[in-house]
Chain A
């Protein structure tokens, strides 16, 4: 997020798109609801489904899945056409405006409406509300990024923020919500194939040299590595022979489970370090029992770049050990001594090598509770709002983005859109929430959400089991009929191993971000006799 969570309550307008905030990020959802209830903030929700936030929204743009660029270009067309753009901001802080303008000019609200299914006058109204707000914030999540056009979608949102001067000030900004508790931190720490900690490129010789010196090695690899999807592909082809997985369960979270299963079964060495015997761990050659968050010291970095402490409350069960200890022991056996791997000592090393974390230490976190990075020096108060005076790259760059349809669209054979996501009661692959009895009792069954009209045509009753099938696989699942779904769109949460949504999803990737298209696939629904004998995918229920 460019701005902090606290900041949302200062916004005059919030555009929420591709985020079922009250379910996936409940506390951000709560702050948005409060902004509306307490401060009269105008909320615009762009989303195919009727989500909870629609009840608080001034305007609900009921778009077709995968049409974000068209909708946003349509809004920006209106903003330009009616002179609502922030010209001073564009002149002084940005570049690339002319090419951008040329593309957007072609997206009249009428043309955008045809693509995205939102009536032209609603597109106009949304544009007016957003552009005339003193402070307008954009909040988005996987509904924007998990597309083959994910990067285009994000660039379009950035265009909208810049066009209206809503970057670098209170109550505004471009605010992606990170799905898991420490995704932000995992990225910051160089858990990415092309960058060292702090987003320092592996191809930058000076960065490599700096790290090599502190780490006491001669040199570091220069060639960017493989992304997770590429790793699995390489594993299936026999190029990656050893896979070391710490605390992830790709068997349930990755698209196209069958393909992944082949890849995992093919590697010569699969090491899984986790707290449960997950679907992925079951396939491992070596399983290493790890400590849970309650059994170790450390830090997490949340979605608004807030670094906060994790504290040890209890001992790990049996012989389970902290991940840091395990990694250091493997390292020692490979001939490299990592030295003191206590959490505070590691943070000191991180601070010495990662400019954004330069001023972060356990002592300061103890005193202050949290620090927002960038926090370059020990006397720096942290940075809750990014890009206040300038962008990281100097000027903000407008991008000329054309609408491209999703990789797979419904057709005669597979007539429904499928979109996947989270529900309030569960988390990710369910390994943790599904083992909390009270929560599980409230939401123990996976369901495919379906518009009652579609159900009537298919002859499906509430609670009936159907088979949902895509070109990649099929699952058996209970039907839930709800007016919250638009016609011809189905929704399936991905927390449930026994009917894994990702047996259906499309592994087609965004060409730049390499994120699979979880949010749109084409599926069909098989009912009664048709559903019999179909080969369905089912994994263990607790991931």
Chain B
């Protein structure tokens, strides 16, 4: 790829010729706000919160959708630019419930962050407000279009990335919102409950029901790990609060999923704190499994293994490793079989 030389806020940078202004700025460490943009999606250029001044251009241009060109001189922080952005934000807030106190996304809401950054308290425009019924027609995804800023990210991610196309804009102009055909509930559509739409929504319009009310951005610690389900190996961030996993999300553009997950990787974590979890070692006594101490259980295992090995040789013992355990654990178990017990009777259920 050829590269081009441009300047951003007076700083000279060289970037690949197929970059947008936004990409170039990010690489140069200059931040430009966005709302309808997500790296997983094709540039859209609808919200205009990312506008910048390009010398020679008559109007301000959306950074997310404007490609760079040789010699371009870009200004991201002029008063004119800030004013235009501020107007966009004020317009959005004029039809937004002032609900941040109880909103799930408070602290991770892109609109709230912008209002904060641009100091928008009371919108200048006092107009008509929408009131929509909150939709919770399924156990995983809640839709509250009162908080929708019509950025189209959900519509686009479902179509462009998930390849499903559950949503489309219904109504026009001021009344436009993304919806399902004929207002169907999500289970009545081909929705796969991947939650990609939730992950891209910049506001609290789309939220994950299982994680609602369990901890907002500043209350949780994120721990990056690998999904425990299929072999794709998606990267997930577990959200931890007070020693409990209370949510999960996908780091954007990371790992095999590039920031996308499936229903299991996004919502399949209640098992971690399920009351059915085994918490004590057990040994069968008189036909029943009885809780015992670790020492007793381990002595029992080792003692009986020894007896059986001595009487019938090491090949009378067999081990099953696990496709669900870590590499290190599998390594140790086969080491136990081979080095300690002395048998190659080690397999796992992967053939199955």
* Contact in complex: A276, B278 (CB < 8 Å): yes
* Contact in complex: A331, B268 (CB < 8 Å): no
Q: Please give me the residue from chain B that is nearest to A494 by CB atom.
A: B352
* Contact in complex: B346, A302 (CB < 8 Å): no
* Contact in complex: B327, A301 (CB < 8 Å): yes
Known contacts A435-B270, A438-B267; decide if A182 and B192 are in contact (CB<8 Å).
Answer: no
Q: Which candidate, B58-66, B117-125, B309-317, is the interface stretch facing chain A?
A: B309-317
Within 8 A of B (CB), among A193-215: 193-194, 196-197, 202, 211-212, 215
Within 8 A of B (CB), among A15-46: 22, 24-28, 30-31, 33-34, 36-38
Which of the residues B192, B336, B340 comes within 8 Å of A424, measured between beta carbons? B192
Which of the residues A182, A202, A285, A314 comes within 8 Å of B325, measured between beta carbons? A182
The residues of B that contact A290 with a CB separation of less than 8 Å are 278
Q: Please give me the residue from chain B that is nearest to A243 by CB atom.
A: B318
The residues of A that contact B324 with a CB separation of less than 8 Å are 180-182, 247-248, 293
Known contacts A188-B327, A320-B279, A334-B305; decide if A225 and B224 are in contact (CB<8 Å).
Answer: no
* Contact in complex: A245, B344 (CB < 8 Å): no
A491 at the interface (CB under 8 A from B): no
B2 at the interface (CB under 8 A from A): no
A310 at the interface (CB under 8 A from B): yes
Known contacts A5-B232, A180-B230; decide if A514 and B344 are in contact (CB<8 Å).
Answer: no
* Contact in complex: B335, A338 (CB < 8 Å): yes
Which of the residues A242, A324, A331 comes within 8 Å of B329, measured between beta carbons? A324
* Contact in complex: B349, A254 (CB < 8 Å): yes
B233 at the interface (CB under 8 A from A): yes
1/0 per position for B303-337, CB-CB distance to A under 8 A? 11110110010111111111111111111111111
* Contact in complex: A191, B302 (CB < 8 Å): no
* Contact in complex: A5, B256 (CB < 8 Å): yes
Known contacts A223-B344, A298-B329; decide if A442 and B271 are in contact (CB<8 Å).
Answer: no
* Contact in complex: B345, A330 (CB < 8 Å): no
Within 8 A of A (CB), among B183-225: 187, 192-194, 209-210, 223-225
The residues of A that contact B345 with a CB separation of less than 8 Å are 193, 225-226, 231, 240
* Contact in complex: B330, A186 (CB < 8 Å): yes
* Contact in complex: A315, B243 (CB < 8 Å): yes
Q: Which candidate, A68-76, A100-108, A339-347, is the interface stretch facing chain B?
A: A339-347
The residues of B that contact A419 with a CB separation of less than 8 Å are none
B272 at the interface (CB under 8 A from A): yes
Interface centre among B228, B263, B328, B340 (most CB of A within 10 A): B328
* Contact in complex: B240, A30 (CB < 8 Å): no
- What is the distance, in angstroms, from A152's C-beta to the closest C-beta of chain B? 16
Which of the residues B269, B309, B330 comes within 8 Å of A191, measured between beta carbons? B330
Q: Please give me the residue from chain B that is nearest to A518 by CB atom.
A: B352
B80 at the interface (CB under 8 A from A): no
Q: Which candidate, B19-27, B93-101, B105-113, B159-167, is the interface stretch facing chain A?
A: B159-167
Within 8 A of B (CB), among A412-449: 424-427, 431-433, 435-439, 441-442
A321 at the interface (CB under 8 A from B): yes
Known contacts A277-B278, A436-B269; decide if A300 and B163 are in contact (CB<8 Å).
Answer: no
The residues of B that contact A221 with a CB separation of less than 8 Å are 314-315, 338, 342-344
* Contact in complex: B231, A177 (CB < 8 Å): yes
- What is the distance, in angstroms, from A295's C-beta to the closest C-beta of chain B? 8
- What is the distance, in angstroms, from A280's C-beta to the closest C-beta of chain B? 9
* Contact in complex: A189, B321 (CB < 8 Å): yes
Which of the residues A181, A182, A432, A438 comes within 8 Å of B209, measured between beta carbons? A438
The residues of B that contact A30 with a CB separation of less than 8 Å are 161-163, 257, 260
- What is the distance, in angstroms, from B299's C-beta to the closest C-beta of chain A? 7
Known contacts A215-B335, A248-B322; decide if A300 and B233 are in contact (CB<8 Å).
Answer: yes
A239 at the interface (CB under 8 A from B): yes
Known contacts A221-B314, A334-B305; decide if A181 and B327 are in contact (CB<8 Å).
Answer: no
A224 at the interface (CB under 8 A from B): yes
- What is the distance, in angstroms, from A132's C-beta to the closest C-beta of chain B? 25
Cα-based distance from A541 to B162 in the complex (angstroms): 31
* Contact in complex: A181, B227 (CB < 8 Å): yes
B262 at the interface (CB under 8 A from A): yes
Size class of the contact patch on chain A = 35 or more
* Contact in complex: A292, B272 (CB < 8 Å): yes
Cα-based distance from A180 to B228 in the complex (angstroms): 8
The residues of A that contact B46 with a CB separation of less than 8 Å are none
Q: Which candidate, A87-95, A156-164, A267-275, is the interface stretch facing chain B?
A: A267-275
* Contact in complex: B348, A191 (CB < 8 Å): yes
Cα-based distance from A515 to B348 in the complex (angstroms): 12
* Contact in complex: A289, B281 (CB < 8 Å): yes
Cα-based distance from A34 to B259 in the complex (angstroms): 14
A475 at the interface (CB under 8 A from B): no
Known contacts A185-B330, A330-B302; decide if A268 and B308 are in contact (CB<8 Å).
Answer: yes
The residues of B that contact A224 with a CB separation of less than 8 Å are 344
The residues of A that contact B234 with a CB separation of less than 8 Å are 27
The residues of B that contact A458 with a CB separation of less than 8 Å are none
Q: Which candidate, B4-12, B83-91, B282-290, is the interface stretch facing chain A?
A: B282-290
Which of the residues A247, A319, A425 comes within 8 Å of B264, measured between beta carbons? A425
The residues of B that contact A534 with a CB separation of less than 8 Å are none
* Contact in complex: A181, B323 (CB < 8 Å): yes
Q: Please give me the residue from chain B that is nearest to A282 by CB atom.
A: B289
A246 at the interface (CB under 8 A from B): yes
Cα-based distance from A295 to B171 in the complex (angstroms): 48
- What is the distance, in angstroms, from B193's C-beta to the closest C-beta of chain A? 7
Known contacts A253-B349, A330-B336; decide if A183 and B231 are in contact (CB<8 Å).
Answer: yes
- What is the distance, in angstroms, from A321's C-beta to the closest C-beta of chain B? 7
* Contact in complex: A183, B350 (CB < 8 Å): yes
The residues of B that contact A329 with a CB separation of less than 8 Å are 294, 298
B245 at the interface (CB under 8 A from A): yes
Cα-based distance from A323 to B319 in the complex (angstroms): 14
The residues of B that contact A242 with a CB separation of less than 8 Å are 304-305, 308-309, 316-318
Which of the residues A185, A318, A336, A515 comes within 8 Å of B279, measured between beta carbons? A318
The 9 A-B residue pairs with the shortest CB-CB distance, nearest first, are: A318-B279, A302-B233, A298-B326, A225-B344, A247-B322, A191-B321, A333-B302, A26-B262, A289-B278
Q: A186-B350, A243-B318, A301-B327 are in contact. List 18 more A-B contacts (CB 8 A).
A: A180-B350, A185-B326, A189-B331, A191-B334, A221-B338, A225-B343, A242-B304, A243-B320, A246-B322, A248-B349, A253-B349, A282-B289, A315-B243, A331-B336, A336-B336, A369-B235, A436-B268, A438-B140
21 contacting pairs across A/B (C-beta < 8 A)? A30-B163, A31-B256, A34-B163, A177-B231, A181-B230, A181-B324, A182-B231, A182-B327, A183-B348, A223-B315, A225-B337, A282-B289, A289-B278, A298-B328, A300-B226, A304-B256, A320-B277, A320-B278, A335-B340, A436-B269, A439-B263
